[in-house]
Amino acid sequence: MIYEVCIDSVAGALAAEAGGAHRVELCSALFDGGLTPTLGTVERTMERVTSIRVHPIIRARGGDFVFGADELAAMRRDTELIAGTGVHGIVIGALTPGGDVDVDACRTLMEAAPGLSVTFHRAFDMARDPFAALETLIDIGVDRVLTSGQESLALEGAPLIAELVRAAGERVIVMPGAGVTARNLDRIHAETGAAEYHFGVWETAESPMVHRNPYPFMGGELRRPEFSRDITSGVGVADFVAAGERIAGRP
């Protein structure tokens, strides 16, 4: 099985690599579902990792997946710049207002990254007809589809994921994601038969700040604590990989 870790930093990429993952989806703003990482973060990640594949997400903002002309132009330019860093793939997703795959938008981004592996992200889970969306993505040459089976968690969406895996056959990879853990991987694998899995593992680390002003905060009313950080857990990655290897029958 192939293990992909969702991360938001160079440190996360290094933790995923040390834990035995095969690939990372490099993002920023995971609270918003993942947005395009900075070019500096991508460049530094590529300088630091040695054996893991890096697939940055290309997404201009949070919210829906219907992108205007200016947003798409910016995303295309981001794709061109990020492709020039030597990354192995990109992660994209765009829909029409009616809930179909936005073929023109996807092709625009794919043309900006020739030869790179392409994953269509969980915009798929907002598609009107998942089977029609799957066929469209196969037609335009996407390599894999990340999905929770149009539910909040992949375990809940496992029945649909299993149908998608069967419908896809060898034409495209269907990759379960959202709430996939070392504890439920065996159930999701048994139900779906998928070969690749997307997950994130986090632990909270204290901020190194010694001086702490408790009064201001740097976000809206729904806010995260100023003096702690969520970081990718290398131990968590290793636990997930070990669970997968047990399922696959390897020591």
Confidence of residue 222 (pLDDT cuts 50, 70, 90): low
Q: What is the DSSP string of 10-71?
A: HHHHHHHHHHT-SEEEE-B-GGGT-BPPPHHHHHHHHHH-SSSEEEEB--SSSS-S---HHH
CB atoms under 10 Å from CB of 214, counted, come to 7
Name the domain count of the chain: 1
**Domain residue limits at 27:** 2-247
CA-based nearest residue to 170, from 193, 188, 201, 204: 193
CB atoms under 10 Å from CB of 56, counted, come to 30
User: How does strand 2-7 pair with strand 196-199?
Assistant: parallel
CA-based nearest residue to 65, from 3, 126, 148: 126
Place of tokens 């995923």: 16
The CATH number of the domain holding residue 181 is: 3.20.20.380
Mean pLDDT score, 140-148: 98
**pLDDT tens-digit profile of 172-204?**
999 999 999 999 999 999 999 999 999 999 888
Residue 213 confidence (pLDDT)? 87
Phi, psi of 24 (to 5 degrees): -125, 145
